[in-house]
Structure 1
Amino acid sequence: MFMILRKTSICGNSKPFQQVSNYAKIFKLLISKEERAAKLQKERFELVRTCITSALKNRRSLSVSEFRTIESEMRSKSYHRIRDHIFDVFFTLRPPNDSMENARNFIEAFDIKDDLNITSKLIRLYAKKASESQLTEKEEQELIGRCDALIAKEFHALPEMNSIIVNGLCATKDWRKVIELPALCKNSVNIIARKALKENEIDMAWDVLHKLFSFPKHHQHLNSKTIQSVAKYFNRNPKSIPTNANKLFSLCEKLKMLFTEPAIKELRDVLEKHGHQAKIINMGFSGICSTCKSQLEKSKPLSTTQFNMLRTEFMDKVVKGADIYQKTTPEEWKSFEEVIRENGPFDIVMDGLNVSYLAKKTVDQAKANNQSSSLSKLHFNLDGRPNVHTLTNAVKQLHDEGKRVLVVGRKHMNRWPNINNIRKIATLFLVDNISKDDIFLLYAAMHSGQNSYILSNDFMRDHKFAIGRYNELFKLWQQEQWYGFTLGQNKPIELVKPMQYKMYIHKVGDYWHLPFKTNEHLEAKMWNSYELPEDWACIRIKENVECE
């Protein structure tokens, strides 16, 4: 829809612009409607949960007739998805309430046999119980039967169902048969590896984990639970650490892993407990480890071919993608493209608001964390408001150094005093106050070529999925082209060269260096984060350690 309309917009007729703008507005309204619907569903779930738990009190389970009565009462109030909400409540129950007995009575009450959604939830409920206690023989057989029935109908070919089936079977004695199950997804591989580690079959775990290399790049990683399972295995089998720790780290290096804090800390505690060296450090711009004094390996620069591939992907998937008019309007974007053509290419593309606001913000964050930011060590004493003088001085210095500068800001900056001073020495483009400026910064830098740099602390996370298969190239480009800066009172701006060493696990001499994130709790976000890590673990595995 958007692609067809854009083709007609270049002819100069304003009607297509208005049509696309209308579609963008409708799309935003749909998103708002989805958010309201999600909030309503959450409220209804809480009502159902309150109803179920009030009826249960200290009993193990509600009867078949009670479930029928509750559903009837809820439907009379025009509630939707009642059965889904009722089943979801079972995941929240604690003793003396019995989740499995409630689930069985619920299924019997409505004679649910072929509902794929309820079946998948039942399997997850069995797996949850198995992780907390032991399934009875009857429960285990029922779980195996339901998983086998789904496999027979080839539901395992669906990625989401694949991991549910694998998780279910890995809670039973038949777990080994999932290893040869076709169409395994990355979550399934991690689940199987954790089961193998729990059963002390570490060679099987390595074999399974190597299946990750058959997946697309952005699906190739061990999740935190798997790393923690390896740590637990090491704790049970300390004599295996010298051989298997290096296998783990070598695998992670090939996968270019970035770790989570809980996984790193558990691994560190186990390794230190059994006589190996493992320290957590804060890595500075120098890339020199404060523990082993080693210099981290330099990252390989992006080649011209790789940059051109990334730029093409960016233009096709982000700029020409159907979501661009969620961030701007056709009129504004056309105007911006004209500015770039007439005034580019640029040496520096500056995030105007980021520079003017960030000084105060970064100092506050540094004080809160009792440390300096690794990207922009700002020490400019501001009162929390944007400072046009900071921005103007930064632009002037870059201009005096012979740099062609593009400053991207917002229209409200027109009210700033002396804003025209910036226009005299740089190209200034102000986007609408409701537009998102990240797409403008990225486009200008990409369009200007491989020697163009971005001055901003905004890491443009919104585009991490849109770039798709070239996420890794985007990280390299960001690492090379994203400049930080330092400011001092009455001192000139000083650009801080981006970190140039490898930002994933690698070995220098006898020491492994593992980067990890401390402020990301959602792993799905962490794997696609473009922030450069400051926190690392320095680990040396000793070959001859006396074990208890």
Structure 2
Amino acid sequence: MMRPLLRVISPISIIQLPSTRTSQTKASPLLSALENKIYDMIRMKKETMSWTDLRENEFPRLVKELLINTSCRPSPSIIGAQSFTNLVIRALAKNGQSALLSEFVQEHGIERLSVNQLAFYIGHCNKTEEIVKTWHYLKGRNGTLFDAASTTHLIEGLCQTSHWREVVPLINNLTEIEGTPINALRRFIRKLFEVGEIDEALKWFYELYTRNPGAPGRECEPALAKLDSACRIFEMAASMYLQFDKDFFLSPAWEPLFDVKLTSITYPSRCPKCKTRLLPPQEIRNDDLQKLRKAVKTQLIKQGDNLFETTTPAELAHFEEFMGRHGPFDVVLDGLNIGYRFGEKALAVEARRLATQEKKRVLVMGRRHMNRWPAVKNLPRGVLLYTMENISNDDPFMFLACLYSNVHCTIVSSDHFRDHKFKLSPRYKNEKDNCAAVIEITRLFTRWLNTRHRQVGQPPLKHDMVAQKDPGGWHLPILKNAEGIQGQLQPNLWACVRYKRS
């Protein structure tokens, strides 16, 4: 029985064994240098020296030599036996020396390795028997409760064996304490696709990408072997408003059933590769605006009922009074974003163009110091300026201005609005929240922002930014930064996926 995933803790709160999958080496130049030196030392002297000689004689000399040539002053523990063990395991794993890694662990003795070291070894060993043997020892010694780093390594190793189902309690136990191990889940999802358990894979897929950043990618490759399983992934991605990792489309796994071409789709919403016109976005209703207004006020402007995070009660009341007297508007301009990115004159030019050429009622929003900008003082008739206190966050008020206006009002900005999407998402909430309601609001906000967000000098896109099916195949939107927040920037990059004729 799969337990629901809860929350994601910050990666900096996880203490890990040095790992090729973490950034610890980036934070410690000395350890990184030692790691490289250790590997060079092993390559040159392993044939003539034992691991004991390397640890007791060569390693202290190596550290001393390195310290002479660097200004780093490490703690005394860096030259201890445990540090030597960590560095050897890390160096051999990073350089793909699995045979030497197994030799070192066997000579050292698994009973002398820490829990983190054993988990790391399991994740980087390519011998099935060794993985299973070490796992049985570790499970008997530690149970099934591990931190995120160790869980990721264990899943990587166990998914190479027939014991891969044993990763489920590892994930569930960790989820209840720390949060979702994203990379570990991706590896597990890939394994489920590999063995043909499509329904179970899609359940975990849904749980993972509902609550975590990133874009579906290589974990879905095995599902491309069958048309039905591939289309089920695309359909779920469409329902979740997901964009895909660009590297996913470079995989040879597409070749048997699909022709894939990357392309840019902007105006007039027609794919230049296959000439298919993309579907328009779903209509935003007035009751949707009401839900979003409530979410913006309670989650972006306030935290709960009473705590104001980005403004004051008086400022919010004044803004709502302003909107009641002067709204609705057709366009809301992000004054600070446009002014700083393109110049204050460009802000005035864009406001004038919208008001005179497009005949729109325009609201320019920003902060108090913008009142001193010469270009702002000469805004044309039909353009109003509303400024917040300099310490206030004006983005949520731009959302409110648009939401208080009408379903057709647009926001002009080059901002990605990542922080605000994150605060509305389930991973920002705790386990007591009504997750279904949070997910609904997150997707509604994404859908609304995708259709109401436009760049300077451009109209809103006329097509929906989700995976779309047509008789000849699919069009799948691509998230350019796969570690970014979903749905934050209108994607121009798409994959045109065509079914191959049998």
**One fold, TM greater than 0.5?**
yes
Aligned partner of 1:482 in structure 2 is: 453
CA contact (8 A) 1:64 1:108 kept: no
Corresponding letter in the other structure for 2:321 = R
Alignment counterpart, residue 170 of structure 1, candidates 137, 159, 166:
159
Alignment counterpart, residue 280 of structure 1, candidates 254, 259, 262:
262
Q: Following the alignment from structure 1 to structure 2, what is the Cα–Cα distance between the partners of residues 341 and 86?
A: 67
Q: Following the alignment from structure 1 to structure 2, what is the Cα–Cα distance between the partners of residues 209 and 103?
A: 37
* Alignment CA distance shift 1:182-1:90 (3 Å): closer
* Alignment CA distance shift 1:342-1:194 (3 Å): closer
Aligned partner of 1:49 in structure 2 is: 32
* Alignment CA distance shift 1:101-1:65 (3 Å): farther
Q: Following the alignment from structure 2 to structure 1, what is the Cα–Cα distance between the partners of residues 413 and 189?
A: 40
Whether 1:531 aligns to 2:489 is yes
Aligned partner of 2:465 in structure 1 is: 503
* Alignment CA distance shift 1:52-1:296 (3 Å): closer
Aligned partner of 2:90 in structure 1 is: 91
- Alpha-carbon deviation of 1:507? 0.9
* Alignment CA distance shift 1:483-1:423 (3 Å): same
Aligned partner of 1:141 in structure 2 is: 133
- The superposition leaves residues 98-139 of structure 1 with CA deviations (integer Å, 9 ceiling, x where unpaired) of 556667788989x565xxxxx245323421x24xxx227345
Alignment counterpart, residue 391 of structure 1, candidates 343, 347, 369:
347
Alignment counterpart, residue 472 of structure 1, candidates 430, 443, 446:
443
Counterpart of 1:137 in 2: which secondary structure? helix
* Alignment CA distance shift 1:343-1:474 (3 Å): closer
* Alignment CA distance shift 1:415-1:193 (3 Å): closer
Structural mapping, 1:343-354, within 5 Å: 343-344=323-324, 345-347=327-329, 348-354=331-337
Aligned partner of 1:155 in structure 2 is: 145
Corresponding letter in the other structure for 1:166 = I
Q: Following the alignment from structure 2 to structure 1, what is the Cα–Cα distance between the partners of residues 486 and 233?
A: 21
Corresponding letter in the other structure for 1:309 = K
Counterpart of 2:262 in 1: which secondary structure? strand
- Alpha-carbon deviation of 1:326? 11
Aligned partner of 1:341 in structure 2 is: 321
Q: Following the alignment from structure 1 to structure 2, what is the Cα–Cα distance between the partners of residues 47 and 257?
A: 40
Whether 1:208 aligns to 2:191 is no
CA contact (8 A) 2:264 2:494 kept: yes
CA contact (8 A) 2:122 2:154 kept: no
Q: Following the alignment from structure 1 to structure 2, what is the Cα–Cα distance between the partners of residues 96 and 479?
A: 47
Question: Quick one: percent identity of the two aligned structures?
Answer: 21
- Alpha-carbon deviation of 1:315? 1.6
Whether 1:310 aligns to 2:292 is yes
CA contact (8 A) 1:218 1:471 kept: no
Whether 1:319 aligns to 2:304 is no
Aligned partner of 2:498 in structure 1 is: 540
When the two chains are superposed, the root-mean-square deviation of aligned CA atoms in Å is 4.5
CA contact (8 A) 1:408 1:430 kept: yes
Q: How many residues align?
A: 434
Q: Following the alignment from structure 2 to structure 1, what is the Cα–Cα distance between the partners of residues 169 and 31?
A: 41
Question: Any gaps of 5 or more consecutive residues in structure 2?
Answer: 1-22, 426-437
- Alpha-carbon deviation of 1:430? 4.0
Counterpart of 1:171 in 2: which secondary structure? coil
- Alpha-carbon deviation of 1:243? 4.8
Q: Following the alignment from structure 1 to structure 2, what is the Cα–Cα distance between the partners of residues 285 and 535?
A: 13
* Alignment CA distance shift 1:122-1:177 (3 Å): closer
* Alignment CA distance shift 1:148-1:230 (3 Å): farther
Structural mapping, 1:135-534, within 5 Å: 135=127, 137-147=129-139, 149-150=141-142, 152=143, 154-155=144-145, 163-178=152-167, 183=172, 188-196=184-192, 201=195, 203-213=196-206, 217-219=210-212, 223-230=216-223, 234=225, 241-266=226-251, 269-272=252-255, 274=256, 276-321=258-303, 330=312, 334-335=314-315, 337-344=317-324, 345-347=327-329, 348-356=331-339, 386-388=343-345, 390-399=346-355, 403-422=360-379, 425-431=382-388, 437-448=394-405, 450-468=407-425, 469=438, 470-486=441-457, 496=459, 498-517=460-479, 519-520=480-481, 523-525=482-484, 527-534=485-492
CA contact (8 A) 1:224 1:263 kept: yes
CA contact (8 A) 1:143 1:168 kept: no
After TM superposition, the score normalised by the length of structure 1 is: 0.64
- Alpha-carbon deviation of 1:341? 1.9
